[in-house]
Structure 1
Amino acid sequence: MPTATLPPGPSSPRFVQIAHGLTRPRRGMPRWRDRYGDAFTVTLPVFGRVVVISDPTEVRQLFQTRADLADNLEPNLGRVLGSGSLFALGGEAHRRRRKLLVPPFHGRRLTAYERIVEEEAVRQMATWPAGRPFPALPSMMRITLNVILRAVFGAEGAEFARLRDLLPAMVTVGSRLAVLPLPQVDWGRWSPWGRFWAMRREYDAIIGGLIARAEADPALDARDDILAMMVQSRYEDGSPMSRGDLADEMLALLAAGHETTANTLGWAVERLRRHPRVLRELVEEADAGGRVLREATIAEVQRSRPVIDIVGRRVTADSLRLGRWTLPKGHTVMVNIGLLHENEAVFPNARAFDPYRFIDAKPDLYRWIPFGGGARRCLGAAFATMEMDVVLRTLLRDFTLEPTDEPGEPWHSRGIANAPGNGGLAVVRRRTAPARPVAAATAGRSAPERGTDAATSA
């Protein structure tokens, strides 16, 4: 067996490194990178001793590594989303489940969901105050939650009203618990885990009823919601998903399809207010029916303000040679998304907010990785991108977003995801021009010429 060769790292006590990772995750990683280079070994909460990498060649190699050599992290999000969710599965089980879940999130079906996204955006934005600051993030959370509920279940009713109240609390508590060790003592409702498990039991009861109703629906074939498709889906051997696995996957879809997308939209508002030329050209493009700059802007928001810090793998072979390093079996290797996105060799002038970098060059999916990469790349990436595009298009069409010269908002950790510290403060005024139909808004793909004073502030 090859001798393990790990990168250097801090020598401070483990509890100091763990405390640093919990309290200052965005500051600690760049400091360690500056001191030890683009790979270092450090102790992180939940995962223990890990190798953190950000060299693009090593990142690509890791994402291309077969599952029998390096597979799913342990522990993983299955501890809050359920052991039957895609986030918890590895190896062949992950491959089979992923193949089963691909159809609802790709192709023409996404076009059908656009109407739902626009309806929810228009409904929520109608409540926005005119001419005074308000945090956009809560509105974005409500938009994305309502969208994913309607896309998953396809209807409204008492159960959906209860889920609208229950899920935000579950996601908030679960996101924070996911980065903490499991408790050794069950304190029941007096502990965060106890409160989370109580909410999970209520969720399971609601979802169990919806699954049973779908299974008994004689018109199930005519439905186009995700639950109907998942109930009817079959593995290669003809077997269906179990009810427990369906409930776990529903929770994973509802949580992942709600929190991260909303945070990115909050960051989009925060970034655009501080880059008036980009904002002005986005409005001009939207009015002309284009979308190229808008798509590039969404990609740049995700590059410069990634809402997820890390993705990773666990070595399952006896050892894994990864670039300059040899990792032993059971060792964890993490990709720090922020460090890769700030790499000047990958993205020149990386600290600048510059959507134009993506106008003529589509993101390299091994270097631009807000959705992770490889076989475990986020299944809902296309859905989330469509949703962000429609929400931003609706905002630009119906409102004037006022720019500001205030400093950028600080990063705020919500546990798993990073959000703008002030909630993406916005000041808007409704535009007087009549709203254009969706068909006109999706036509055309020409981008404006690149401005000579493209925004450069971080």
Structure 2
Amino acid sequence: MTETVIGQETDLPLQVPPSPRIPKVLQAAAFVALRRPMTRLLAPKYDGAFTLRIPVFGNVVIVTDPAMAKQVFTTSTDDLGNLQPNLSRVFGPGSVFALEGADHRKRRKLLTPPFHGRSIKNYEKIVEEETLRETASWPQGVEFETLEPMMRITLNIILRAIFGADGAELEKLRRIIPPWVTLGSRLVVLPTPTRDFGRFSPWRKLADYRREYNAVIDFLIEQATADPRLDERTDVLALFLRSTYEDGSAMSRSEIADELLTLLAAGHETTASTLAWAFERLSRHPRVLADLVAEADADTDGAELRQATILEVQRARTVIDFAGRHVLAPSIELGQWRIPKGYSVMVSIGQLHSNTDEFPNPDQFDPQRFIGNRPNTFAWIPFGGGTRRCVGAAFANMEMDVVLRTVLRHFTIETTSKPDEKWHSRGVAFTPKKGGRVTVRRR
């Protein structure tokens, strides 16, 4: 059925996709608790899109069709802005997540250089060093979780990339960032309370983490500013301190703090989760694993299969399941529908990655589908799409490539016939429920 809404700035009827015939309170509860299976259940019943009423976000159109996803990602940012609310609730108002339009474009120009081209090549040695450091203590012949080791590896990598060195202050960040990110990712999908529930509330804990973080960043900025070799440094903090917008203005300290937090949080959890899924998948696919070992052992820089495997892990075990936008224009066209101002549009990444037209036999884990065949930009979207595609996508890909190569060269991963690990929601990201458990032996 089609729902008709009266336009806010015109009297034209606005046709939005149909909504399931279940009470809105049940829609809301099901989406909050079971958004992935709920979307998978509803998608086949509707023609590429359906509408839900979701807590925090309000009226939301869920998109499951690649053609409509392309419309979402190519629509002007003046018409479709960032999802509201978004992760800036955790990262702060100076984060790129909080910015719209021209401000967002200017900030991305400052963020791009450290995570592309030659800069990424310079970080490969750091990735290998941190992988070797963490794996040195891996148990042999005993099954263990890979998720937490991957979290430590990716956090250490992004810390070194951002700050360029180690020390007591970075040790403080290693302590507070993981629990802060976990707590923040759970709270970001919940309504913000209108009153203070005291020192034992999770929102107060979130604020405490932020105060501790700000103190560390203030110290590190002071230290970097006083460094006589600041102009020679290649770390991200130094680049931020040296960078200016086209009008000559610079990022404020609070903006730098918010942006560094964005990189620290978004730059390690999703990559680590994908790597844990990679180990879970490879331990259950011996032929793929054997071919990857042979490729890693070869005396060449070949990585075609490893790259294809990374793409397939991101498709088959999507860590972030939605990419969202908010309608700013009086209305936008989406397929046969017209969506009014104030609605949100969420592209279901998991459903696009299961599209049978784009990915035949989608339930089959098959890296060969990406050998010599780059995926459709609007059907394979683990990093989102359009102007808000993850600025660190190339950096994350490099991390996963080097971590996998290093582990494959130094360890034998034992295969298993155990059932696939189930999905576990950490709030924003999905991880293997048992942590991506594997058994390894040093080669």
TM-score bracket, shorter-length normalisation: over 0.9
Question: What TM-score does the superposition give when structure 1 sets the normalisation length?
Answer: 0.93
Indicate conservation of the 8 Å contact 2:48/2:68, yes or no.
no
2:37 maps to which residue? 27
Consecutive unaligned residues in structure 2, runs of 5 or more:
1-9
- CA distance in structure 1 between the aligned counterparts of 2:199 and 2:132, rounded to whole angstroms: 38
- CA distance in structure 2 between the aligned counterparts of 1:4 and 1:63, rounded to whole angstroms: 21
SS at match of 1:75: coil
Number of corresponding residues: 431
1:422 maps to which residue? 434
2:3 maps to which residue? none
How far apart are 1:11 and its partner, in Å? 2.9
SS at match of 2:16: coil
2:119 maps to which residue? 109
> 1:236 aligned to 238, 246, 259, which one?
246
1:92 maps to which residue? 102
Question: What TM-score does the superposition give when structure 2 sets the normalisation length?
Answer: 0.96
Are 2:341 and 1:329 equivalent residues in the alignment?
Answer: yes
- CA distance in structure 2 between the aligned counterparts of 1:277 and 1:342, rounded to whole angstroms: 23
- Pick which of 179-188 and 257-266 moved more: 179-188
- CA distance in structure 2 between the aligned counterparts of 1:209 and 1:174, rounded to whole angstroms: 24
Indicate conservation of the 8 Å contact 1:9/1:32, yes or no.
no
- CA distance in structure 2 between the aligned counterparts of 1:282 and 1:44, rounded to whole angstroms: 43
Indicate conservation of the 8 Å contact 1:297/1:355, yes or no.
yes
- CA distance in structure 2 between the aligned counterparts of 1:66 and 1:327, rounded to whole angstroms: 15
Indicate conservation of the 8 Å contact 1:189/1:198, yes or no.
no
* Letter aligned with residue 308 of structure 1: I
2:142 maps to which residue? 132
1:398 maps to which residue? 410
* 1:262-320 Cα distance to aligned partner (Å, 9 max, x none): 00000000001111100000001111132100000000000011100101111111110
* 1:397-424 Cα distance to aligned partner (Å, 9 max, x none): 0000011111100000000000000000
* 1:82-133 Cα distance to aligned partner (Å, 9 max, x none): 0110011111110010011110000111111000000000010111100010
* Letter aligned with residue 324 of structure 1: Q
Are 2:230 and 1:215 equivalent residues in the alignment?
Answer: no
Are 2:164 and 1:154 equivalent residues in the alignment?
Answer: yes
Alignment of 1:9-408 (within 5 A): 9-288=19-298, 289=300, 290-408=302-420
Q: Percent identity?
A: 58
1:454 maps to which residue? none
- CA distance in structure 2 between the aligned counterparts of 1:207 and 1:45, rounded to whole angstroms: 34
* 1:229-264 Cα distance to aligned partner (Å, 9 max, x none): 011000000000000000000000000111000000
How far apart are 1:14 and its partner, in Å? 2.5
* 1:37-66 Cα distance to aligned partner (Å, 9 max, x none): 421101223212200011111111110111
Indicate conservation of the 8 Å contact 1:188/1:195, yes or no.
no
2:5 maps to which residue? none
SS at match of 1:131: coil
Indicate conservation of the 8 Å contact 2:326/2:345, yes or no.
yes
- CA distance in structure 1 between the aligned counterparts of 2:433 and 2:125, rounded to whole angstroms: 31
- CA distance in structure 1 between the aligned counterparts of 2:72 and 2:176, rounded to whole angstroms: 37
* 1:188-232 Cα distance to aligned partner (Å, 9 max, x none): 321111100111111011111111221222210111100000110
2:6 maps to which residue? none
- CA distance in structure 2 between the aligned counterparts of 1:250 and 1:47, rounded to whole angstroms: 26
SS at match of 1:5: strand
* Letter aligned with residue 401 of structure 1: I
SS at match of 1:68: coil
- CA distance in structure 2 between the aligned counterparts of 1:221 and 1:366, rounded to whole angstroms: 40
SS at match of 1:42: strand
SS at match of 2:199: helix
Moved over 4 A (4+): none
- CA distance in structure 2 between the aligned counterparts of 1:87 and 1:279, rounded to whole angstroms: 37
- Pick which of 52-61 and 409-418 moved more: 52-61
Indicate conservation of the 8 Å contact 1:117/1:387, yes or no.
yes
- CA distance in structure 2 between the aligned counterparts of 1:189 and 1:221, rounded to whole angstroms: 43
SS at match of 1:338: helix
- CA distance in structure 2 between the aligned counterparts of 1:204 and 1:141, rounded to whole angstroms: 22
- CA distance in structure 2 between the aligned counterparts of 1:210 and 1:293, rounded to whole angstroms: 40
